[in-house]
């Protein structure tokens, strides 16, 4: 039974990938005994029988357990409505936001989080029948309100590239000694000691997004950062 | 104005839809009709005395009234020697639990425009004989389609009602003032000039790889595709896919079905009118 | 019915703009032209030019329009007041534009996995900025490219083309003169990989054989336009490669 693609081939929506006796993962669907791509993607042939399609475009699909970066769009009676870049809104209840119980009668929620405030949160539940289908918490280590820093928005399907295989890319980025928080929803928060480093890091992340489908990207990014660091060192 | 995925008819019991689909897949219909069989067509003309032409058509339980009113107006600049045809459709709030009060929505607009194109491109009305003073005055024929009960296949029923109403339209005469300015004389009438190119719309639904004609309301929300093909004198004069998709072969088969069915439906329509 | 055109539509096997009957006008397609949109494309078939933008999937507002098991799609086809050759087009939506918005939505929906995004909304905005015939066909291609650019899961692209009858000859990709004076017009939309027809409208006067031949010709023309569409999508990614190597 045939395979219709070669390694690193660009595939388009509807392109046949292989017959269903192959193992095909990624953005694909089955039509008449054949896997077809459902978006623009690159072919990754893992072995004789296994193919993966890496999407080049895609929207954020929230999953329970995802770490996401969101901002407050409304302050409600006992919680906040958040935008997490999903097709539906998220809800952060007071219980999932503060460690100690607070007296809702006396505490103004806007003093804790106000409209426009940014948080890094984890998705705990999704139920599309609710008014706010996504539930999130910030009551864990590494979660909570974000202050200062710069936010970079990239396509959510490019997030794995910013992290890299076994964290290789994020390892390269950490040479700049900045805080980097990567949301699965394609929002990336960076905060450096030096504002120039922050601007540089943001531009590097945008470049990773732009060149995500090319080979040898990690090495090129590493080169760029080393060059930047050595030039900065001379200043 | 934008077109939005409709809500109303989409949510139906799965069981109902599955039984309709299962039956069609095995070549029959839950109503007992054959796949290429129309429902009973009953019609009556001259039902509205205030109109210049009118008809009611009942296609099974689908019921549509068409009324024709003639007026005088300016011809279109690109057709100074022809009359003007305007088709409008209203799906009355009476027609189904899903029809809404308000100006014609996209379904009513599509219905009117599909019927309009069938009449226009068939050449059924001799438009040149509807010119009064070339470039300045011509008859305007308003065809108003009223859907009273929607049990599916509105396009075919609306087309039949419109054609019948036009076939029985008496055109008011022209009276001239001293200045020569024309006005309508409703006391002196003549038959509306029509031709033998009668447009007949044939709507074809698809379920799986089966095609069927004249889908009723229950069948309509079980379809994978629907196309309406209007035929006049063995020519296809208009077509519109209104739902889903078709393969090339299915489109070719649909064309054949429409060409084959249209004379039969026309004959039945003629018999149905008293 | 047919009125005489100001110039012959077909002379010595050539059309009024010099094309062969089976020849598509020069195609131009560019993806990602509207940076604010989730997906966008500008598509030209000759002088006909359409700008498409896609937003979503996003929360469906108003909420009562949302469907519990899939996304809803909202499509707006609109012609700019300055897009027509003669008089200014009234910017208010006409019955024609409302109908075309509907047939384009019906032509796009079979290609999109709406069931992936329950209760959400996908917006598709189509603006004809310059019209010279085949505007709905070009709009369909532009919409489909913008949806692909937005990364919305789809079974296939949908490519639009119009086929018409001029002086008894079948011709593809009609310009406005041919649309106005020809004997028939068949705008058609096809998913090239699956071979499914999702847009099918027709007017004029067609015999069975001419019509069947026209549909076949549409498939061939769609193949050509699809090639240009793939190139445009590819260009969006592989220009970046050239920058770095």
Q: What is the pLDDT of residues B211-232, one digit of tens each?
A: 999 999 989 989 999 999 999 9
Q: Is residue B2 part of a domain?
A: no
String of b and e for A92-130 (b: at least 16 CB within 10 Å)? Answer: bbbebbeeeeeeeeeeebeebbeeebbbbbbbbebeeee
Of the given ranges (A181-185, B246-250, C236-240), which has the lowest mean pLDDT? C236-240
Whether residue C197 and residue B248 make contact (CB cut-off 8 A), yes or no, is: yes
Q: What pLDDT digit, counting tens, does each position of B31-82 carry?
A: 999 999 999 999 999 999 999 999 999 999 999 999 999 999 999 988 999 9
Res. A106 pLDDT band, cuts 50 70 90: confident
**Bridge partners, A16 (sequence order):** A36
Q: Closest Cα of chain C to B5: distance in Å?
A: 5
pLDDT of residue A125: 97
- Mean pLDDT, residues A205-229 taken together: 94
Residue of B nearest to C217 (CA): B248
Res. B11 pLDDT band, cuts 50 70 90: low
Q: Is residue B1 part of a domain?
A: no
Res. C245 pLDDT band, cuts 50 70 90: very low
Q: Is residue C4's pLDDT more than 90? A: no
CB-based contacts of A17: which residues, under 8 Å, 6+ apart? Answer: A3, A4, A5, A11, A24, A28, A34, A35, A36, A37, A43, A51, A53
Q: Is residue C243's pLDDT more than 50? A: no
* Among the partner residues C102, C186, C219, nearest to B3 by beta-carbon distance: C102
Q: What pLDDT digit, counting tens, does each position of A145-201 carry?
A: 999 999 999 999 999 999 999 999 999 999 999 999 999 999 999 999 999 999 999
The parent domain of residue B191 ranges over: 14-271
What is the dihedral sign for C-alpha B209, B213, B219, B221?
positive
Indicate the CATH number for domain A10-55.
2.40.50.100
Q: Is residue B162 part of a domain?
A: yes
pLDDT of residue A81: 96
Using CB atoms, list chains with 3+ pairs below 8 Å to chain B.
C
Q: Is residue C7 part of a domain?
A: no
CB-based contacts of B270: which residues, under 8 Å, 6+ apart? Answer: none
8 Å CB contact between C107 and B10: no
What is the overall mean pLDDT for chain B? Answer: 93
Query: Residue B59 belongs to a domain with what CATH number?
Result: 3.30.230.70
Of the given ranges (A127-136, B148-157, C123-132), which has the lowest mean pLDDT? A127-136
Q: Is residue B4 part of a domain?
A: no
Residues of B in contact with C73 (CB under 8 A): 4-5
d(CA B80, CA C3) in angstroms, rounded, equals: 11
What percent of chain A has pLDDT above 90?
87
Fold identical between A10-55 and A67-146?
A: yes
**β-strand pairing of B137-149 with B84-91:** parallel
Query: Residue C186 belongs to a domain with what CATH number?
Result: 3.30.230.70
Q: Is residue C91 part of a domain?
A: yes
Q: Is residue B273's pLDDT more than 50? A: no
Q: How many domains does chain C have?
A: 1
Q: Closest Cα of chain B to C178: distance in Å?
A: 15
The parent domain of residue C222 ranges over: 16-244
Q: How many domains does chain B have?
A: 1
Q: Is residue C83's pLDDT more than 60? A: yes
Q: Is residue B80 part of a domain?
A: yes
Residues of C in contact with A15 (CB under 8 A): 193
Q: Report yes or no on chains A and B touching (3+ CB pairs under 8 A).
A: no
Q: Is residue B8's pLDDT more than 90? A: no
DSSP, residue by residue, B233-250: TTEEEEEEEEEE-EEHHH
Provide the CATH topology of domain A67-146: OB fold (Dihydrolipoamide Acetyltransferase, E2P) (2.40.50)
d(CA C199, CA C108) in angstroms, rounded, equals: 8
What percent of chain C has pLDDT above 90?
86
Q: Closest Cα of chain C to B125: distance in Å?
A: 10
* Among the partner residues C118, C155, C244, nearest to A211 by beta-carbon distance: C244
Interface residue B5 vs chain C (CB under 8 A): yes
Q: Is residue C175's pLDDT more than 60? A: yes
C-alpha angle B166/B168/B169, rounded to 5°? 65
Q: Which CATH architecture has domain A150-234?
A: 2-Layer Sandwich (3.30)
pLDDT of residue B78: 86
pLDDT of residue A234: 58
What is the overall mean pLDDT for chain A? Answer: 94
pLDDT of residue C239: 66
pLDDT of residue B7: 67
Stated pTM of the model? 0.90
d(CA C37, CA C127) in angstroms, rounded, equals: 14
pLDDT of residue C3: 67
d(CA B247, CA B254) in angstroms, rounded, equals: 10
Q: Is residue B5 part of a domain?
A: no
Res. A41 pLDDT band, cuts 50 70 90: very high
Mutation target for A interface from C153, C191, C239, C241: give the one with most A CBs within 10 A: C153
pLDDT of residue C196: 98
- Mean pLDDT, residues C19-30 taken together: 98
């Amino acid at each position: 039974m045939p395979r219709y693609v070669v390694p690193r081939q660009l595939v388009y929506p509807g392109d046949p990938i292989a017959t269903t006796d192959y193992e095909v993962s990624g953005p694909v669907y089955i039509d008449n005994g054949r896997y077809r791509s459902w978006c623009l993607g690159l072919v990754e042939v893992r072995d004789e029988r296994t193919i993966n399609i890496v999407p080049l475009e895609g929207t954020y699909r929230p999953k329970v357990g995802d770490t996401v970066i969101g901002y407050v769009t409304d302050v409600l009676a006992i919680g906040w409505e958040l935008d997490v870049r999903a097709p539906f809104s998220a809800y952060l209840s007071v219980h999932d936001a503060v460690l100690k119980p607070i007296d809702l009668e006396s505490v103004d929620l806007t003093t804790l989080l106000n409209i426009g405030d940014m948080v890094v949160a984890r998705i705990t539940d999704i139920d599309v029948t609710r008014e706010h289908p996504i539930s999130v918490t910030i009551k864990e280590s590494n979660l909570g309100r974000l202050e200062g820093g710069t936010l970079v928005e990239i396509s959510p399907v490019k997030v794995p590239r910013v992290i890299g295989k076994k964290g290789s890319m994020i390892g390269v980025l950490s040479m700049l000694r900045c805080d980097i928080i990567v949301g699965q929803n394609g929002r990336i928060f960076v905060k450096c000691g030096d504002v120039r480093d922050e601007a540089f890091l943001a531009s590097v992340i945008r470049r990773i997004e732009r060149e995500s489908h090319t080979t040898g990207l990690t090495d090129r990014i590493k080169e760029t950062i080393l060059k930047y660091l050595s030039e900065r060192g001379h200043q | 104005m934008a077109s939005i995925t409709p809500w109303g008819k989409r949510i139906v019991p799965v069981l109902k839809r599955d039984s309709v689909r299962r039956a069609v897949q095995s070549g029959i219909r839950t109503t007992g009709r054959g796949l290429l069989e129309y429902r009973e067509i009953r019609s009556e003309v001259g039902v509205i005395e205030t109109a210049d032409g009118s008809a009611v058509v009942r296609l099974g339980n689908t019921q549509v009234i068409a009324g024709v009113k003639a007026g005088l107006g300016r011809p279109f600049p690109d057709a100074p020697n022809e009359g003007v045809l305007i088709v409008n459709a209203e799906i009355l709030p009476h027609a189904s639990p899903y029809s809404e009060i308000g100006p014609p929505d996209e379904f009513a607009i599509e219905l009117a425009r599909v019927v309009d194109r069938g009449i226009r491109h068939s050449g059924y009305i001799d438009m040149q004989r509807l010119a009064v003073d070339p470039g300045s005055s011509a008859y305007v024929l308003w065809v108003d389609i009223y859907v009273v009960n929607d049990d599916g296949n509105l396009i075919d029923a609306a087309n039949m009602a419109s054609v019948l109403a036009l076939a029985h339209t008496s055109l008011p005469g022209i009276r001239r003032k001293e200045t020569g300015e024309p006005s309508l004389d409703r006391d002196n009438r003549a038959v509306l000039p029509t031709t033998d190119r009668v447009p007949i719309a044939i709507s074809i639904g698809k379920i799986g790889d089966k095609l069927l004609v004249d889908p009723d309301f229950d069948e309509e929300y079980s379809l994978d595709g629907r196309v309406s093909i209007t035929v006049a004198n063995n020519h296809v004069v208009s077509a519109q896919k209104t739902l889903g998709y078709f393969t090339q072969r299915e489109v070719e088969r649909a064309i054949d079905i429409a060409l084959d069915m249209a004379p039969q439906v026309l004959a039945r329509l003629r018999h149905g009118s008293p | 019915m047919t009125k005489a055109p100001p110039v012959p539509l077909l002379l010595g096997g050539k059309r009024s703009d010099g094309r062969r009957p089976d020849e598509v006008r020069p195609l131009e397609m560019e993806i990602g032209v509207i940076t604010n949109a989730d997906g966008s494309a500008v598509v030209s078939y000759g002088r006909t030019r359409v700008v498409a933008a896609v937003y979503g999937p996003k929360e469906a507002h108003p909420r009562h329009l949302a469907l519990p098991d899939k996304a809803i799609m909202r499509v707006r086809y609109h012609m700019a007041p300055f897009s027509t050759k003669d008089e200014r087009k009234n910017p208010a939506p006409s019955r024609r534009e409302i109908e075309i918005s509907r047939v384009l939505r019906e032509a796009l929906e079979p290609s999109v996995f709406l069931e992936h995004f329950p209760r959400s909304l996908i917006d598709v905005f189509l603006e004809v900025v310059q019209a010279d015939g085949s505007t709905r066909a070009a709009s369909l291609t532009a919409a489909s490219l913008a949806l692909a650019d937005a990364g919305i899961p789809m079974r296939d692209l949908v490519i639009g083309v119009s086929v018409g009858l001029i002086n008894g000859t079948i011709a593809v990709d009609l310009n406005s003169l041919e649309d106005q004076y020809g004997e028939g017009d068949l705008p058609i939309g096809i998913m090239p990989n699956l071979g499914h027809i999702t847009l099918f409208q027709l007017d004029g006067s067609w015999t069975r054989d001419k019509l069947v031949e026209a549909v076949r010709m549409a498939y061939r023309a769609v193949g050509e336009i699809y090639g240009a569409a793939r190139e445009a999508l590819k260009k969006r990614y592989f220009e970046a490669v050239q920058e770095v190597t």
